[in-house]
A and B are shown apart, each in its own frame.
Chain A
Amino acid sequence: MANAAGPAPVVELERVARVFPGTPPVEALKATDLVIHEGDYIAIVGPSGSGKSTLLHILGLLDQPSAGIYRIDGIDTQELGERERAGVRSARIGFVFQSFHLLNHRSTIENVMLAEIYRPGSRAKRRDRAIEALEQVGLGHRLTSFPTTLSGGERQRVAVARALVGEPSLLLADEPTGNLDSGTSAQILDLFDDLHAEGLTLAVITHDGDVSARAKRQVRIRDGVVTPVTAGAEHA
């Protein structure tokens, strides 16, 4: 699969569009081409209502495009049934959300272990993998804490750990710092930098310039149209 010329593509969008039915139909995403290579750190920026959520949901296999082809790790997602789509989502994509989405009645480690319950495979090593992921985000000492006793930054790191379990091909973050102050935001972004350095592919959706500035590559989305931002032009 690996291309001799460079790293293999993780995400390939070919003329992908999403139209929501209605009167009149809403064209949330117009025909889009986008390739994310292995090891990429891409920021998708745009104001609210620009279509970036739609793009996120398509990338995360939570929504299906109305037209076009979406391949992840070379798998054409159009041909997959619901169970396969869910399986790919579980195995290849790690999600990080603005509002963390941790279960308050479960400990940190149980929240992280939740990442694997929809995956085939052994339960035996689940705990070990969860501990490993929590150590990776620097929370090896809070294994049995409950989310309600954690700070916002710690909660988001638990969410990142949950996304990292099982080594996904793509980490999809939706406004990961939206609920955090600037200090803890910087910690999360540092963590993303570290993960990127370790070779993880990241796609961060944000409207925050500080967040997008950390990415190695930026694309802007406005009115459903995705345009690359050239390396030199910083301003989004």
Chain B
Amino acid sequence: MPEPYVPPASGVELAETESIASAVPRSHLSFRDLLSEATVALTARPARTLLTALGTILGVAALVATLGLAKTAGNQIVSRFDELEATSVIVRPPQDRGQDPRGQNQQQVSSIPWDAGDRLQRLNGVVAAGTKSDVSVGNALARSVPLIDPLGQSEFQIPVIAVSPGLFGAVRTELATGRVFDDGHNQRGDNVAVLGPGAARRLNVTRVDNSPAIFIGDTTLAVVGIIEDVAREPELLNAIIIPDGFARQRFALEAPAEVQVEVQIGAAELIGGQAAVALSPNDPTQLRVSLPPSPRQVRSSVESDVNALFLVLGGVSLLVGAIGIANVTLVSVLERTGEIGLRRALGATRRHVAAQFLFESAALGALAGLLGTSLGILTVVAVSANREWTPVLDAWLPFVAPVIGAAIGLLAGTYPAWKASATEPIAALRATG
């Protein structure tokens, strides 16, 4: 049998090493001892330990605060967008035909119908919809009295905007006084107007119960209401708003310039797909639909903006922190030369000495990471409380940050630990201390 030859040979060898091992004790340092040595070394001078770790504490705190605040602010901005932007859809004719004005005019005439608001109103998910167009009134000035006052300015260039009644809902109009015009006014082409607060102030119209009239050139308009505020399309605030029907008759408006649609939250994508078909069934591609930015995109772009800047800042402070730990550990290696020599005399190998210093600096780094994480989270909470935000934090962050701290401590301790392990015990023991 060839096999038995091999095992006895290796068996003898094994027995030999075993006998040497039992005769000669091998130096040994248990993890528990390593842990307690590091703990004692770090707690012996707590103030110094804290100062050593300060740079890393601040670095980790900056990182955690940055990530936390970016997340918090990102969510905050998104929720504000959700309120207004996410419920707004705008339909316009394409703009890339601007080079051929005649063609554009033809497209506009055919693309958005006058009853766009009514058509969209029928779609499920639309809250309100209405057309809106700037009206060209030539050089006609607006005034509230049919008199020429030579002493004061009473005539103004005020923009005139033609809308369908549905638009007032679509821009969330708040009225100061009076009412807005309705479908009846629009269909009959009545000469009525609603004033934005800016226009009302300039025309000196403050109430509508006395049926004030205003004049655009020689066109007379009856003011039926004054707006307090709108949530969208702020140019309405400074304009004279007239019905589409009247603008067609009196100012030769050819077609609506755009359709404003207020949709239910979450319906924007759906309505965006349906609106063009509803308005231009023969050729939906003739219309351009503007949708609110997707919340996901908003969040990520905000985060990346804020993060890029502050992560660099946090990284720099971490680097400074690491240098701080390396520096103080190196100094303490020099200070503890006697201790290193003693440990070697007591049976430590170079590895044991290196392990001890590495472990100390890693523990210091982990401690700094823990404190820094706490500080960073406190910052996020404090800022959120101040701004009345909801603090949002990635769940992994509080767990990863101390690990980063420990890694930095380990990295920073590498050179000092090597230096300590290279200390000659002879020289070290001769050093007084």
Contact = CB atoms under 8 A, between A and B. Distances in A.
Interface stretch (B22-30, B55-63, B213-221, B298-306): B22-30
Given A57-B426, A83-B349, A106-B40, 19 more contacts: A53-B430, A63-B426, A83-B27, A84-B26, A86-B27, A86-B349, A91-B25, A97-B345, A99-B338, A99-B432, A101-B342, A101-B429, A103-B339, A106-B44, A117-B30, A118-B29, A120-B25, A120-B26, A174-B429
A90 B37 CA distance: 17
Contacts of A82: 349-350
Interface string B398-433: 000000000000000000000000000110011011
A86 B348 contact: yes
A62 interface: yes
Interface string A108-121: 00100011011110
A115 B348 CA distance: 10
Given A97-B429, A101-B339, A118-B352, A89 B30 contact: no
Nearest to B430: A53
A88 interface: yes
Contacts of B425: 57, 62
B28 A89 contact: no
Interface string B299-343: 000000000000000000000000000000000000000110111
Contact of A87 (B24, B33, B430, B433): B24
B151 interface: no
Contacts of B430: 53
16 contacts: A62-B426, A75-B23, A82-B349, A83-B26, A84-B25, A86-B26, A86-B348, A87-B27, A88-B25, A89-B346, A90-B347, A101-B338, A114-B342, A118-B29, A118-B343, A118-B347
Is the interface on chain A under 10, 10 to 19, 20 to 34, or 35 or more residues?
20 to 34
A87 B346 contact: no
A123 B343 CA distance: 18
A117 B343 CA distance: 9
A26 interface: no
B2 to A, nearest CB: 33
A89 B342 CA distance: 12
Overall SS of chain B's interface: helix
Contacts of A119: 25, 27-28, 347
Sorted from nearest, which 8 A-B pairs have the closest CB atoms?
A: A90-B347, A86-B27, A118-B347, A105-B44, A87-B25, A87-B27, A101-B342, A120-B28
A122 to B, nearest CB: 10
B387 interface: no
A95 interface: yes
A118 B352 CA distance: 9
A118 B28 contact: yes
A110 B338 CA distance: 17
A61 to B, nearest CB: 9
Of residues B24, B344, B432, which shows the largest number of chain A Cβ atoms within 10 Å of its Cβ?
Answer: B24
Nearest to A174: B429
B45 interface: yes
Contacts of B29: 117-118
A118 B40 contact: no
Interface in B206-228: none
A80 interface: yes
Contacts of A65: none
A90 B27 contact: yes
A75 B32 CA distance: 30
A153 interface: no
B350 A62 contact: no
Nearest to A93: B345
B24 to A, nearest CB: 5
Nearest to B33: A117
B313 to A, nearest CB: 37
B274 to A, nearest CB: 77
Contacts of A120: 25-26, 28
A51 interface: no
A176 interface: no
B347 A87 contact: yes
A60 interface: yes
Given A87-B27, A88-B25, A105-B45, A118 B346 contact: yes
Nearest to A84: B24
Contacts of A80: 24
Contacts of B32: 123
Contacts of B346: 89-90, 95, 114-115, 117-118, 162
B24 A101 contact: no
A152 to B, nearest CB: 13
Nearest to A179: B432
A87 B26 CA distance: 4
